[in-house]
Structure 1
Amino acid sequence: MVVIPAVDMMGGRAVRLSQGDFNKETRYFEDSFDAARNWVECGAKRLHLVDLDAAKKGAPAHMDTVARIVRELRVPVEIGGGIRSMDIVEKYLGIGVGWVIVGTAAVDDRDFVLTAASRFPDRIILGIDARDGLVKTKGWTEGTALTAVELARSYINTGIAAVIYTDIAKDGVGGGVDIEGTRRLAVDGKIPTIASGGIKYIDDIRAVIPLEKDGVIGVIAGRSLYEGTLDLAEAIREADGKKATAGG
């Protein structure tokens, strides 16, 4: 199982939002590249990048930084945030990004996601954000009647590489991963799953590791790493020998 540090980029900085609220921003690095480099120097073997400006405005704002991270740090990266067109997918993959994450589009523009997954098999990741098991879209501001499992199952055998499952209620506030919800999504959704939201301490990492047998291939950590409640090197050691890539 792979431990994946998150680098959320806004205005060139590395930040974290509380519960996805753009008005609740905490700045950690003035240059998001420095954040990425820091985690790689601490042993990260993969990075989770989010362009928050793109999520808000719909156009990539950190393409140059992402290209530099790929070029200079030489670790696989996944990128999300406002990706709703084939042109953006092609640009990211063209600069060497490993996987492109689609969220809202998985619900609102299924044809686009299916086309992207068909054209670039095992390079597209579904970002499924849910509260009480129901999918939320558009930066968690709009609810749907879809369950996370239903959405994942609708993309079985379409070329999707993995699902990142975020329990909104726990994102940025700790409390541990939604273990049962994550396990259910991996087992019933039948797509490799990456857990996100709720990681604060090393015990939270330990709680996720047994889910590897159910198809959980990774876990994303953000605020806990920046605020020092979780040591990346220790987390990686815990997961050592249980590594996987997005495609399994």
Structure 2
Amino acid sequence: MIIPAIDLIKGQVVRLHQGKFNLKRKYLYKPFFYIEKYLKQGAKKIHLIDLDGAKNPSEKQTSLLKNLSKINPISIQIGGGIRTKKDIDFILGLMPKAQIILGSSIIQNFNNVKKWFKLYNPYSLILALDIKFDINNKKIIFINGWQNKSNVIFEDIIEKFLDLGLKYVLCTDISKDGTLLGPNINLYNEIVKKYPEIFFQASGGISKLKDIKNLKKIGIKDIIIGRAFLEKIFSLKEANLCWQKE
């Protein structure tokens, strides 16, 4: 499906350019305005990232999440600063059907994340693997709101979680994110073929309806779109129609 993305800093909707906090675009309206707009246009799910929490888990936008939970109906996948079982239980307590996006904790708390796959339904957990290519064309994972290089390779994480029931992976090519330069089709084509049992979500650079067609053709299950919707390059309604036609 097509999933609209909302990234938040201090309660404000923003988009970062290639994950850089000093290169952020601020948008006019509060997150609730965009969420209601997307729901009216047929959104089945909202992708929400707390960038304050991603950068520093002690600064999570907790009160905002509480307000979001009052919107009905809303299906949400949420990430940013989720580091502990307590964080997961807090979100699921507010929104029982939410999907939890795990990013930095995969690298920093690997053993705990393995335990969470046994405690929770694997369909409710999404591994967010945000990558940059190194000089040897290896997919290196970045963490903490993309501020820190982990030296861990994308495929190594996938292999470790396959036997634990891994279902969802959100893969972002950081160099494409927020650029409107188009997604990394070669990247997604490669990983979909290599791991056909995983539901891959594509994120970063989507700027044309043709991008949606190309991603669906290669087997991507979900497409996360942020800036193109916020800047009215095309609407969610148009994106959904394009998805359904393919």
Q: Fold-level match, TM-score > 0.5? A: yes
The structure 1 segments of at least 4 consecutive aligned residues displaced by more than 6 Å after TM superposition are none
Contact 1:171 1:196 survives alignment (8 Å)? yes
For residues 75 and 237 of structure 1, the distance between their equivalents in structure 2, rounded to whole angstroms, comes to: 21
Give the corresponding residue for 2:136: none
Query: Is the 2:51–2:145 Cα contact (8 Å) retained in structure 1?
Result: no
Residue in 2 aligned with 1:48? 47
> CA separation of 1:199/1:156 partners in 2, compared to 1, >3 Å: closer, same or farther?
same
Deviation string 1:16-75 (CA, Å, 9 cap, x unpaired) is 111112222212144212221121122211110001111122036333433443432413
Q: 1: CA distance between counterparts of 2:148 and 2:59? A: 22
Could you tell me which residue of structure 2 aligns to residue 170 of structure 1?
176
* Residues in 1 aligned to 2:244 and 2:69: alpha-carbon distance in whole angstroms: 23
Match of 1:239 in 2: 243
Cα distance in 1, alignment partners of residues 104 and 145 from structure 2? 8
What is the deviation of 1:241?
A: 7.1
**Corresponding residue for residue 211 of structure 1:** 218
Q: Give the letter aligned to residue 127 of structure 1.
A: A
Q: Work out whether 1:161 is the aligned partner of 2:167.
A: yes
Structure 2 gap ranges (5+): 134-138
Identity %, equivalent residues: 27
Mapped contact 1:40–1:73 kept (Cα < 8 A): no
Taking the aligned partners of 1:26 and 1:81, their CA distance within structure 2 comes to 18
In structure 2, the residue matched to 1:124 is 125
Is 1:179 paired with 2:178? no
Paired AA for residue 160 in structure 1? L
The CA distance in 2 between the partners of 1:210 and 1:75, in whole Å, is: 28
Conserved 8 A contact 2:56-2:144: no
Measure how far apart 1:139 and its partner are: 2.0
Name the TM-score, length of structure 1 as normaliser: 0.89
Q: How high is the TM-score relative to the length of structure 2?
A: 0.89
Find the aligned partners of 1:241 and 1:87 in 2 and give their Cα distance: 42
1 CA distance for matches of 2:15 and 2:44?
A: 21
Residue identity opposite 2:198 in structure 1: I
Q: AA paired with 1:178?
A: N
For 1:151-170, what per-residue CA distance to the aligned partner results, in whole angstroms no more than 9, with x for missing partners? 22221031333000000110
Q: Summarize deviations over 1:193-232 as a string: whole Å, max 9, x none.
A: 10000101111111111122xxx21000001111111221
Q: Secondary structure at the match of 2:221?
A: strand
For residue 218 of structure 2, give the secondary structure of its aligned residue in structure 1. Answer: helix
The 5 A counterparts of 1:58-207 are 58-59=57-58, 61-96=60-95, 97-121=97-121, 122-132=123-133, 133-189=139-195, 190-207=197-214
Q: Paired residue for 1:18?
A: 17
Compare 165-174 and 149-158 and name the one that shifted more.
Answer: 149-158
Q: Report the CA distance between 1:188 and its aligned residue.
A: 2.2
For 2:218 and 2:69, locate their aligned partners in 1 and report how far apart those are by CA, in whole Å. Answer: 29
- Provide the aligned length of Structure 1 versus Structure 2: 238
